[in-house]
A and B are shown apart, each in its own frame.
Chain A
Amino acid sequence: MQTINNEERALTTAEIETDILVIGGGTAGPMAAIKAKQQDPSLRVLLLEKANVKRSGAISMGMDGLNNAVIPGYATPEQYVKEITVANDGIVNQKTLFAYAENSYAMIEELDSWGVKFEKDENGDYAVKKVHHMGTYVLPMPEGHDIKKVLYRKLKQTRVKITNRLVATRVLIAEDGRVAGALAFDCRSGVFTVIRAKAVILCTGAAGRLGLPASGYLFGTYENPTNAGDGYSMAYHAGAELSGIECFQINPLIKDYNGPACAYVTGPLGGYTANAQGERFIESDYWSGQMMQEFHQELAGGKGPVFLKVDHLAEETIANIETILHSNERPSRGRFHEGRGTNYRTDMIEMHISEIGLCSGHSASGVWVNEHAETTVQGLYAAGDLACVPHNYMLGAFVYGRLAGESAASYCANTELAKVDTTQVETERQRIFAPLNRKHGLSPAQVEYKLRRLVNDYLQPPKVARRMEIGLVRFEEIRNDIQQMLATNPHELMRAAEVGFILDCAEMAAKASLFRTESRWGLYHARQDYTERNDAEWSVHVQVQKDQAGTMSVFKRALEPYIVEPDDVEKAVYQQIRIQPKGTVVLSGGSHEL
C-alpha cells in the first residue's frame, strides 16, 4: 500500500462526473439513489459512501421496529402531525411533518415488497402495537436484521453506481450559488477526488461523535461513530441554513454499553424503565426532551439510578426479547450483559443517558429542508438524521430519501452541470492534505478527545451562558490545534478531517444554544439562566448559517402557520399526562407480575 508517498497523494486527482451525487449510503442515501434512478433511468446516479454501503450507517445491523408508522386504521397524518407538534414543543414546520406522515404507509408497503420484514399477524396484516396514547405507531420488526441486505440488493437491481471508502469533505458551489459537485478523498489510497454533479443529496446521518461517552472510549457512542457530523459541516460551508441545532439529542441507554435499551421493543411485551425500587417514574409519554429531563432527575436522585425492568416477565417473553434485542440493531448487547453476568430473568439492567449529539431523527437538529427535501441552497438536498424533520426516525429517513431523490431527479432534468471553481478545489486540497505533509504534530485522536471532552464540560445540559461562552473560546483554541495535526496515512487523514466536522458542530451547538434565551424541549435545551419556556418571544426556529463574510450567523426564522392545531381537549390531555405534580404519588411495594 505504501507505493506512493504523501506528497504524490495530494497531487493525484481523480475526476468523476455524474448527474446526482448522493453522499452517504446508510438509510436515506440508498433510498434517494434508488428513487432518483427509478424516476429517470437515464440519469447518472452515484452513491458515495465513507464506509461500505453493504454495512454502513445507523442500521448496519438492522432495526427492531418502527415507532412512527402512520398506518391507516391506527393513526391519521393529522393526528401524527399534532402529536409531533406537541412533542417538539411547537417548533415544527408542519408541512414537512405532513409530507412524512402522508407518505409513510406507502413506504412501509414498498419496503415490504422489497423484502424488509415487518411483524404481521396470521392473515399477513401488519401487527401494529399500541404504545403511544393518541395514535398507534409501533410496528415491530423482529426479523429486521436484513434491512441493509435488502437495500443493497435493490441498489444493484436499479443499477445505481456505488463508490465506497470515499470521504466527502466539501460541497462545491458555483459562482451563481448553485451546487457544482463535491470534493472527497479515498481513506485508503488517499486519492483526492473532484466529483461534478448537478445535484447533491446529503444523507450523512447524525453528528454522533460530538459529546464524549462516559466510558471515555471515543468510538463507544450511541450513534454509529462513522457519522461525525460530516453533513452538518458540509451544509454549513455550502451556505445552507441549519435549524434547531440547540435541540440536542440525548438518549436513555444501557450504561457503558451505550446502546439503546429499546423500551419500544420491550414496552409492548410488558417491560419498562424503572428506578432503583423497580417502580415506573416517567410521566411524559414520548421519547422527548421532557422524558429525558425526568430520566436525568431520577438518575441523579435518591431513587436512582435507572434501570430497564423485564425480570417480572414470563420466561417465553424474556426469551423473545433476548432474541430480538440480541439479533438486531446492536447485537453485541447480549455479549455485554453476559460479560457482566447480567441476566434479564433476575436482574434489572442499569441505564444511563447518552453523550450529546445532533440528530433530527431523534430530536430536531438538522439541515433546514422543506417538504421536498430541498435545502436553502439550489441543487442541494438533505434527508435522514441530518435533515431537520423532527422525530422522523428510520422510516422518516426512507421517506425523505425518496422525496430528495425524486426532487433532485426533477431538478436535473432542466439543469446543466455548473462550472467548478478551481480555487475552491485547490483551497480544499491544501486544507485536507496538510496533516499528511507535516513531519511533527498532534495526533487527530488526541485533538478529538480533548475537543469532545470540552463539549461535555461546556455544552452538556443543563446549559448556562457563561459556560458556553468559555466553551466557544476553548473551541477556537482547538481550531488552532487543527492546524498542527499530523496524519501518517489516509486513514488518519480521515480522522483528522472528522475533527474539523466535529468542531463545526460544536461551535454551531454552542452558538444556537446561547441564542435561544429560554428553556425548551426538556433536557435538550434546559437553560439554567433562562429556566422558563417563553412562547411569546421564542415560538420561532433558530437558524445557523455561514454569512457572506464567512462567519457564523444565528437568527430567527418565523414558524409557518400550522395546518392543524391540536384542539384544547387534546392539549389538556397532554398537559395532564406531562405535568403530574410530584408528591401526589402514592408509593407502594413493587407489584408482582407473572
Chain B
Amino acid sequence: MSFSSIDFPVKVDLNACIADKGCTVCIDACPLDVLVIDPATGKASMKYDECWYCLPCEKDCPTQAIRVDIPYLLR
C-alpha cells in the first residue's frame, strides 16, 4: 500500500509542456485532480498516484506533452 518511490503513470515532457506560460489544460481535465504545476519547474506534474488512465490529460494537451502509462500494478 505504501511505497517509498512511486512509478507515476502520467509522464510529462518538460520541453513540450507550456504550463509555465499559463496553460492548465491537463490540470483542468483530470477527473481525479492529481496533476499540479510543479513549483520547481513551472511544468505540469503528477502529484497523487490516483490515476484512472482515462487519457483526457493526454488527448487535450495542446502540445502533446503528456504520455499516460498503465499504472504498474495493472500493467
Residue B71 at the chain A interface, CB threshold 8 Å: yes
**Chain B positions within 8 Å of A237 at CB level:** none
Residue A278 at the chain B interface, CB threshold 8 Å: no
CB-contacts of A210-268 with B (<8 A): 215-221, 224-226, 256-258
> Could you tell me if B2 and A221 are in contact, using CB atoms closer than 8 angstroms?
no
**Chain B positions within 8 Å of A270 at CB level:** none
CB-contacts of A57-116 with B (<8 A): 57, 60-61
> Could you tell me if B70 and A491 are in contact, using CB atoms closer than 8 angstroms?
no
A340 to B33 Cα, complex, angstroms: 28
A336 to B73 Cα, complex, angstroms: 12
**Chain A positions within 8 Å of B55 at CB level:** 61, 331-332
> Could you tell me if B33 and A51 are in contact, using CB atoms closer than 8 angstroms?
yes
Max count, chain B CB within 10 A of own CB: residue among A164, A224, A332, A494: A332
Residue B12 at the chain A interface, CB threshold 8 Å: no
The interface bits of chain B over 40-75 (1 if a CB of A lies within 8 angstroms of the residue's CB, else 0) are: 000000011011111110011000000011110111
> Could you tell me if B31 and A226 are in contact, using CB atoms closer than 8 angstroms?
yes
Residue A286 at the chain B interface, CB threshold 8 Å: no
Q: B2, B28, B32, B74: which contacts A256 (Cβ < 8 A)? A: B74
> Could you tell me if A332 and B53 are in contact, using CB atoms closer than 8 angstroms?
yes
Residue B30 at the chain A interface, CB threshold 8 Å: yes
A220 to B72 Cα, complex, angstroms: 11
**Chain A positions within 8 Å of B70 at CB level:** 257, 332, 335-336, 339
**Chain B positions within 8 Å of A330 at CB level:** 54
Chain B: minimal CB distance from A457 (Å): 16
A226's nearest neighbour on chain B, judged by CB, is B31
A224 to B50 Cα, complex, angstroms: 11
> Could you tell me if B29 and A188 are in contact, using CB atoms closer than 8 angstroms?
no
A215 to B56 Cα, complex, angstroms: 23
Q: A51, A446, A449: which contacts B30 (Cβ < 8 A)? A: A51
**Chain A positions within 8 Å of B51 at CB level:** 219
**Chain A positions within 8 Å of B75 at CB level:** 256, 336, 339-340
Max count, chain B CB within 10 A of own CB: residue among A165, A216, A219, A224: A219
- For the residues of B in contact with A, the DSSP-based class is loop
**Chain B positions within 8 Å of A220 at CB level:** 52, 71, 73-74
Chain A: minimal CB distance from B46 (Å): 12
Chain A: minimal CB distance from B27 (Å): 9
**Chain B positions within 8 Å of A340 at CB level:** 75
> Could you tell me if A332 and B54 are in contact, using CB atoms closer than 8 angstroms?
yes
Q: A165, A258, A336, A449: which contacts B33 (Cβ < 8 A)? A: A165
**Chain A positions within 8 Å of B73 at CB level:** 215-217, 220
A258's nearest neighbour on chain B, judged by CB, is B74
> Could you tell me if A224 and B1 are in contact, using CB atoms closer than 8 angstroms?
no
> Could you tell me if B33 and A224 are in contact, using CB atoms closer than 8 angstroms?
no
A494 to B33 Cα, complex, angstroms: 10
The interface bits of chain A over 442-479 (1 if a CB of B lies within 8 angstroms of the residue's CB, else 0) are: 00011001000000000000000000000000000000
Q: B28, B31, B32, B74: which contacts A215 (Cβ < 8 A)? A: B74
**Chain B positions within 8 Å of A57 at CB level:** 31
**Chain A positions within 8 Å of B30 at CB level:** 51-52, 55
Contacts A61-B54, A225-B50, A491-B33 given; does A55 touch B60 at CB 8 Å: yes
A331 to B75 Cα, complex, angstroms: 15
Chain A: minimal CB distance from B50 (Å): 5
A188 to B30 Cα, complex, angstroms: 13
> Could you tell me if A217 and B54 are in contact, using CB atoms closer than 8 angstroms?
no
> Could you tell me if A60 and B74 are in contact, using CB atoms closer than 8 angstroms?
no
Chain A: minimal CB distance from B68 (Å): 6
Q: A165, A219, A445, A449: which contacts B52 (Cβ < 8 A)? A: A219
Q: A224, A257, A491, A495: which contacts B54 (Cβ < 8 A)? A: A224
B28's nearest neighbour on chain A, judged by CB, is A52
B47's nearest neighbour on chain A, judged by CB, is A491
Chain A: minimal CB distance from B25 (Å): 9
**Chain A positions within 8 Å of B53 at CB level:** 332, 335
A56 to B71 Cα, complex, angstroms: 20
**Chain A positions within 8 Å of B50 at CB level:** 218-219, 225, 495
Q: B1, B59, B60: which contacts A449 (Cβ < 8 A)? A: B1
Contacts A257-B74, A491-B48 given; does A225 touch B56 at CB 8 Å: no
**Chain A positions within 8 Å of B32 at CB level:** 51, 219, 225-226
**Chain A positions within 8 Å of B47 at CB level:** 491
A218 to B54 Cα, complex, angstroms: 15
A330 to B51 Cα, complex, angstroms: 13
A330 to B54 Cα, complex, angstroms: 6
Chain A: minimal CB distance from B49 (Å): 8
A227 to B45 Cα, complex, angstroms: 23
A56's nearest neighbour on chain B, judged by CB, is B31
Max count, chain A CB within 10 A of own CB: residue among B33, B51, B55, B68: B33
CB-contacts of A32-66 with B (<8 A): 51-52, 54-57, 60-61
A55 to B56 Cα, complex, angstroms: 7
In order of increasing CB-CB distance, the 8 nearest A-B pairs are: A55-B56, A51-B31, A217-B73, A55-B29, A332-B53, A226-B31, A219-B50, A215-B74
**A residues apposed to B, CB below 8 Å:** 51-52, 54-57, 60-61, 164-165, 187-188, 215-221, 224-226, 256-258, 330-332, 335-336, 339-340, 445-446, 449, 491, 494-495
Contacts A/B (CB < 8 Å), 24 sampled: A51-B32, A55-B28, A55-B56, A56-B31, A60-B31, A60-B56, A61-B59, A187-B33, A188-B33, A217-B71, A220-B71, A224-B31, A225-B52, A257-B74, A330-B54, A331-B55, A332-B53, A332-B68, A332-B70, A335-B70, A336-B70, A339-B70, A339-B75, A491-B48
Known contacts A61-B56, A256-B75; 9 further A-B pairs (Cβ under 8 A): A60-B54, A61-B59, A165-B33, A215-B74, A220-B74, A224-B52, A226-B32, A336-B75, A339-B70
